[in-house]
Chain A
């Protein structure tokens, strides 16, 4: 794409070297990240091919739609988590935020059945922003380590949800047709929900790659002290990261309601670990500074395809979690070993060449 534009526009010729220079500081990291994403993509293709060879009926439209629908929400959450993990932080509270947002949007529909769909989605985002704002303040201003802060808010948000819901439930019958169509409807054969998720993922990916603020997330994760000395406002960037993660969780909660129709106080309980797992499988380094939205999304897709493939292959569903766990451990190990061998090769090159 870049090469194409350098041929057609004189102005972009000036931009091209700049872009190359910008990617150079992350040279080693960039190369590994790229090869990791390719590896993940190959794994994904092999999974799909292998399963459809064993059971040709796997490759039908219904299954593919199911994979897309299942992965859409998790991949959104994984993208938000990626921004946070990039900065060496973690957000364990997203499951509780999804739950509270899904129920809140559902209650809004019970109160105002005529509410337009965009208003409902914005309401979800707003609830997520409040939750993310609480995390952001605790972490950036209160100086509470993010693992502790978001573990606390995981409990507090979920407890508040239970206290508020009190055994209640929102059913699909309370939702207008237009809202459920977010999940059931299709555009050109692709579920609307998946298209919405893809749009958000593209925007996030562009933000992380090409915006100063996006690059600062990486800088903070690579070396917080160096980032501070280089003039990055670390507190502000960390806060915006948690706000972003909260907003996405709130948005995902609204989508969750559209997808499943029935929500109660235990909605999305425990999904945070599934999301961290998807990020880790997607080569987002838990130690910060390394990872892309593309990788995280591929990680979520791999886990999603595996869970459907197991059903198609008639593997007992009891095996699913064990396989997922083994895969996470293998992915972390492979990632780290690969990164280390590349780093070693680079060192040798520098010393001898």
Chain B
């Protein structure tokens, strides 16, 4: 008699961490696939490549996770990266010392984010529309700054940072920044009042406002954070490739969003975890690298990104539908065996 009830209870227990567990399995499988496809896959040099290629996408995916959890979106990240790279080239050519250049570029990123935030929050406009506009605006700005020129004569000490690894291990130095930021962002999202307020805003921003969360202020900070991190990604990208160009990182915004959504963050906000996004980044990096070693062209590889993204929404949807059907059957069975419930 109690069986249907306990079945309904276990349903609740099997929900947490479900997507993340699946991601761990997929990550192990893709590592296995890489090993099968190519003997050089599991070498230190190659793993170093996997991580290095993830650097900029990861730096922008961290704040993007926060933004999407809060039911907003920032399509301008890759353009801020490009504008930061161009600005870095211009400032360096003006003869400023490198630390000043880096500080100014990071400041620029925050201002770009502040601009997004001001338009979205003060005028109460949808972030999708506004950041499509600023995507064009900031990318345009990078062409205004640098045209089709490239600046490549950065000091060797800094460009070496872009290519070295940590104490001779396979971890590239730029990726150390990613690791540090990933830890900070995980703590920020999962263990601080600010992070928890993002889930509240994403689930229901009106309810969040009534419960005392300063929604406008939180949103503003989110977009500034996103601008700052995109500028950081721009600096790292410029140093890694020793080249400041206006078209740096063009089209990265969609890869960043794809990684976040595949990590289990709901596009409607309020759901998702940083662990999921980090796993998703690793899976995408590993799969792309493995297939490149197998001589699949990088353009064709976009199919993998697309398929993963689709699967991340379709599979949970189908599972939910199946569970709903099962529950309905259980409840039907229950009402048959127990016609007069107390």
Contact = CB atoms under 8 A, between A and B. Distances in A.
B123 A143 contact: no
A100 interface: no
Contact of A329 (B134, B246, B313): B134
Given A144-B313, A155-B306, A158-B302, A325 B123 contact: no
B303 A156 contact: yes
Contact of A158 (B132, B299, B317): B299
Contacts of B124: 336
A319 B261 contact: no
Nearest to A273: B132
A213 B135 CA distance: 34
A105 interface: no
A342 B126 CA distance: 19
B299 A162 contact: yes
Nearest to B314: A142
B278 to A, nearest CB: 20
Nearest to A138: B310
Interface stretch (A145-153, A185-193, A239-247, A251-259): A145-153
A347 to B, nearest CB: 17
B251 interface: yes
Contact of A332 (B125, B257, B300): B125
Contacts of B148: 318
A160 B303 contact: yes
A332 B133 contact: yes
A321 interface: yes
Interface in A115-161: 138, 142-145, 147-149, 151-156, 158-160
A324 B132 CA distance: 11
Given A142-B317, A144-B313, A159-B303, A286 B129 contact: yes
A115 to B, nearest CB: 28
Given A148-B261, A280-B132, A329-B134, A323 B306 contact: no
Given A316-B147, A325-B139, A329-B119, A148 B267 contact: yes
Interface in B285-332: 297, 299-307, 309-310, 313-314, 317
B258 to A, nearest CB: 7
Given A159-B299, A163-B300, A321 B125 contact: no
B128 interface: yes
Contact of A153 (B125, B306, B313): B306
A311 interface: no
B195 interface: no
Interface in B69-96: none
Contact of A270 (B126, B147, B251, B314): B251
B141 interface: yes
B306 A159 contact: yes
Interface string A247-268: 0000000000000000001000
Given A318-B147, A333-B123, A337-B123, A325 B309 contact: no
Contact of B129 (A144, A270, A318, A332): A332
A220 to B, nearest CB: 18
Contacts of B297: 162-163
Contacts of A322: 136-137, 139-141, 143-144
Contacts of B133: 277, 280, 325-326, 328-329, 332
Contacts of A321: 136-137, 139-140, 143
A287 interface: yes
Nearest to B139: A321
Nearest to A92: B254
A309 interface: no
A325 B302 contact: no
B31 to A, nearest CB: 22
B135 A324 contact: no
B181 interface: no
Nearest to B147: A318
Given A142-B314, A277-B133, A159 B261 contact: no
A156 B309 CA distance: 10
B241 interface: no
B41 interface: no
A155 B309 contact: yes
Given A316-B147, A336-B123, A155 B258 contact: yes
Contacts of A326: 133, 137, 140
A312 B198 CA distance: 48
B35 to A, nearest CB: 24
A339 to B, nearest CB: 11
A155 B140 contact: no
A235 interface: no
A156 B310 CA distance: 10
Contacts of B310: 138, 144, 148-149, 152-153, 156
Given A144-B313, A147-B267, A322-B137, A276 B303 contact: no
Given A155-B302, A286-B126, A326-B140, 8 more contacts: A144-B310, A153-B310, A159-B301, A316-B147, A324-B140, A329-B137, A333-B123, A333-B125
Top 6 A-B residue pairs of the complex, sorted by shortest distance between their CB atoms? A322-B140, A325-B137, A155-B306, A321-B140, A325-B136, A159-B303
10 contacts: A142-B317, A156-B302, A156-B303, A277-B132, A286-B126, A319-B143, A322-B139, A325-B135, A328-B137, A336-B124
